[in-house]
Chain A
Amino acid sequence: MTVASQLPTEAPKREFRPRRGPKLWKIATYAVLLVFAAVYIGPLLMLVLTSFKTLPEFFRNPTGWPESFGFGNFTEAWDLANFPRYLLNTVLYTSVATAIFVATSVLVAFPIARGYFKGAKFILTLYLIALFLPPALIPQFQLILNLGLFNTRIGYILLFLVNPIGIIILVNYMKSIPKELDESAAIDGCGYYRFIFTIIVPLIRPAVATVTVLHAIGIWNELVLPTIYLTNDDLYPVTRGLIVFEGLYGSQWPQLSAAVIMLMIPMLLLFVFLQRYIVSGLTAGAVKG
């Protein structure tokens, strides 16, 4: 009897939430999400739509649908911004600097992660502090100038060989690899570099992918540094080439949009290609395994 009398009083307690609550809550949630989606997707959509418009059409109707979908802006932008030559420069800078950065970072991060030398923790702290420091533009400029590397490809690539966040991501990921692997490899007769590149790198693929994408995107999209360090237009990356669309009395928005979309595509492809690793790379360390 006692059990039976308890049941009805307990049951409503569990379903205490008002009936309409969940539905309203859901609607509110979706409304907020929609606003966020609009904020994110809106500019992208506008970029795509603008790239198909003529300039007068854009001024008449900046946010609306284009009258026709032609690729005129893309071909014009391709030539005007000197894509064939500048794209080659961008690819060169990005691939060389990223490759050197990733290879050297792995070599730097490993002994720090393992604490294989005195002061490893201190070095890591320095990298962490570096994250919060403003870019040292003027001393860096002086350095490149005095090295005689101003306005050279090598000088420009040198600017992108260090990235503290990359080191920190790699160090944290490497910490999850058991130290016994190092010891086992030492007994097996595996040399240091071979161990790093054939054992460690495959095991930290997510972190390497994350660092690669972060770093490559940074170089690919850089505008300020080429403006400062490169004056010879043979050496310009594409971003610098886009300046042709900025006129004295107004900008060529449709062509600029088309150029920006073309500029985006390679990095999007890289991201899609490495995406399956990146997600686990960014969350690594939060949950082991």
Chain B
Amino acid sequence: MASITIDQVDKVYPNDFQAIHSLSLEIEDGEFLVLVGPSGCGKSTALRMVAGLEEITAGVLTIGDRVVNDVEPKNRDIAMVFQNYALYPHMTVRENVGFALKLAKVPKKEIARRVEEAAQMLELMEQLDKRPGQLSGGQRQRVAMGRAIVRQPAAFLMDEPLSNLDAKLRVQMRADIARLQRQLGVTTIYVTHDQVEAMTMGDRVAVLKDGFLQQVDTPQGLYDRPDNVFVAAFIGSPSMNLYEAEIQDQRLQLGPHELLLPPSAFERRPALRSYEGKRVIVGVRPEDLQDASLVPSPTSGTTITCAVELTESLGSEIVIHFVLDAQPVDPGNPDAADDGGAGSAVARFDPRSRCHAGEEVDIAVAVENLHFFDLDSHTAIWG
């Protein structure tokens, strides 16, 4: 087990495309770090550089105390789990799991012991003599995990290992992998484009976009204090509503709506005072919007009236799509082009709400939870 340090690492391809820009990350011993971002953000490239499958153009990569920039993948003491599992189809599960040990000339008895130990941990005992073709997707995924585990590596690298599974199995495997990682205490870098996976599995989450690291923090930290508009929109589902607005006299002019900002909003963000009279980007999470009729005593100046376009009842909540007549902001997520649509905002109402599509509804805004971003730089306005 070891820590991993990525220090100012660049990746430039022969065609001059720069996939990674000066990436710096420190992954502590035993930590579970998730790299997340939309497609093409460089997260897989970053992982493959740690694995040694891609060369590092500039910067320093350290695993444990060793600089491994020019070390062969097999000598980096890492194990990787691939999206399509990369099992050898002509070998049995037992052979697949034990293959790396066999190559490392581990004694046969020891191989058998470690393979069975891993199989027990992953509930694969009965599949040991089957070939990958005879297994279900979930079982194959576990074999791929088993192959990583038996090597007892310094670090696990996982490249979207759950994306080939159906939704239900994914939820189960998500928990299984997270539990296994904690049990084994092996440093893990996990790549995914799914922010739910990122939030639920990682000790910390690193958000990438276009090869630039946007923010690294605990899942809750990212959710509560996003550094910029992209992270704010990327983390959370449904994603944060982002609109242009203007601050005037401690009031927020959001299109035709006017919201009264509480003093706490300015206390938490001293820099916000300098935006008096200027336009900013305001972000509001769907759960910070509630059916005003269900709020016991709504503060005056925190309610807006909007037309409901669509309601989606999920049982535990109702997702409301409504028209907010203000200038929406594009957070720059290439994967979310069809998310909601311009002008459409999303709220998560209590299931007791009785609002219907086509009607107007009074929405209470939790103004103390609003997020503010600079209009030009898209960075968060804090201290």
Instruction: Give which listed residue, A181, A183, A188, A203, contacts B103 with CB less than 8 A.
Output: A188
Q: If the complex has contacts A178-B84, A180-B82, are A186 and B73 also in contact, measured as CB distance less than 8 A? A: yes
Q: Which residues of chain B in 39-74 are interfacial with respect to chain A, using CB atoms and an 8 Å cutoff?
A: 51-53, 72-74
The secondary-structure label for the interface of chain B is: loop
- Closest chain B residue to A186 by CB distance? B73
Binds A, one of B86-94, B240-248, B284-292: B86-94
Contact between A203 and B51 (Cβ–Cβ < 8 Å)? no
- Is A119's CB within 8 Å of the partner chain B? no
Residue A24 CB within 8 A of the other chain: no
A186 touches B74 (CB 8 A): yes
Closest B residue by C-beta to A205 = B90
Q: How far is the CB of B160 from chain A (nearest CB, A)?
A: 12
CB atoms of B53 and A183 under 8 A apart: yes
Structural contact, B84 and A180, CB atoms closer than 8 A = yes
Residues of A within 8 Å of B104, CB to CB, are 189
Query: In the complex, what residue of chain B is closest to A187 when comparing beta carbons?
Result: B73
Q: How far is the CB of B341 from chain A (nearest CB, A)?
A: 37
- In the bound assembly, the distance between CA atoms of A101 and B126 in angstroms comes to 42
With contact pairs A187-B78, A187-B79, A188-B103 given, residues A181 and B86 touching in the complex (Cβ less than 8 Å)? yes
Q: For the complex, give the distance between the alpha carbons of A194 and B147 in Å.
A: 19
Chain B residues, CB < 8 A from A188: 74, 99-100, 103, 147
Would you give the shortest CB distance from A117 to chain B, in whole angstroms? 13
B80 at the interface (CB under 8 A from A): yes
Tell me the residues in window 162-196 of chain A with beta carbons closer than 8 Å to chain B beta carbons. Answer: 178, 180-181, 183-184, 186-190, 194
A166, B73: Cα distance in complex, Å:
32
A179 (CB) vs chain B CBs: closest residue: B86
- Complex interface residues of chain B between 343 and 378 (CB less than 8 A to chain A): none
A108 near B: Cβ within 8 Å? Answer: no
Point out the residues of chain B lying under 8 angstroms from A202, CB to CB: 90
Whether A183 contacts B90 in the complex (CB less than 8 A), given A189-B74, A189-B100, A189-B103, comes out as no
A1 to B89, CA, bound (A): 60
Check A199 against B74 for contact (C-beta < 8 Å). Answer: no
Q: How many residues of B contact A (CB 8 A)?
A: 24
- Taking CB atoms, residues of chain A closer than 8 Å to B89 are 203
Chain B residues closer than 8 Å to A183, beta-carbon distance: 51, 53, 73, 80, 82, 86
In the bound assembly, the distance between CA atoms of A181 and B73 in angstroms comes to 14
Partner of B80, one of A184, A194, A199: A184
Report the minimum CB–CB distance from A121 to chain B (whole Å). 16
Contact A187 B103 (CB under 8 A): no
Question: In the complex, what's the smallest C-beta–C-beta distance from A209 to chain B, in angstroms?
Answer: 14
Complex: how many Å from CA A187 to CA B147?
Answer: 11
Rounded to whole Å, the gap between the CB of A178 and the closest CB of chain B is: 6
A196 to chain B, nearest CB (A): 13
Give B373 Cβ to nearest chain A Cβ, in Å.
Answer: 39
Determine the chain A residues whose CB is within 8 A of the CB of B147 once the complex forms: 184, 188
Mark out the residues of chain A between 11 and 33 whose CB falls within 8 Å of any chain B CB in the assembled complex: none
Checking A181, A189, A194 against B88 with a beta-carbon cut-off of 8 angstroms, the contacting residue is: A181
> In the bound complex, how far is the Cα of B164 from the Cα of A178, in angstroms?
15
Q: Which residue from chain B places its CB closest to the CB of A118 in the assembled complex?
A: B14
Distance from A91 Cβ to chain B, minimum over Cβ atoms (Å) = 30
Q: Chain A residues near B51: list those with CB within 8 A.
A: 183, 187
Bound-state CA distance A183–B103 (Å) is 15
Beta-carbon contacts under 8 Å, A216-260 to B: none
In the assembled complex, the Cα of A185 lies from the Cα of B79 at a distance in Å of 11
Nearest-Cβ distance from residue A281 to partner chain B, whole angstroms: 16
Rounded to whole Å, the gap between the CB of B148 and the closest CB of chain A is 9
A194-B51 Cα distance, complex, nearest whole Å: 21
**Residues in chain A near residue B85, CB distance under 8 A:** 180
Q: How far is the CA of A188 from the CA of B83 in the complex (A)?
A: 17
15 contacts between A and B (CB under 8 A): A180-B82, A180-B83, A181-B86, A183-B51, A183-B73, A183-B82, A186-B72, A186-B74, A187-B74, A187-B80, A188-B103, A188-B147, A189-B104, A190-B103, A203-B90
Q: A184-B147, A187-B78, A199-B88 are in contact. List 9 more A-B contacts (CB 8 A).
A: A180-B82, A180-B83, A180-B86, A181-B86, A183-B73, A187-B53, A187-B100, A189-B75, A203-B88
| Nearest 10 interchain pairs by C-beta | A189-B74, A180-B86, A184-B86, A188-B100, A202-B90, A180-B82, A189-B103, A187-B73, A186-B73, A183-B53
Binding site for A on B (CB under 8 A): 51-53, 72-76, 78-80, 82-86, 88-90, 99-100, 103-104, 147
| A contacts, CB < 8 Å to B | 178, 180-181, 183-184, 186-190, 194, 199, 202-203
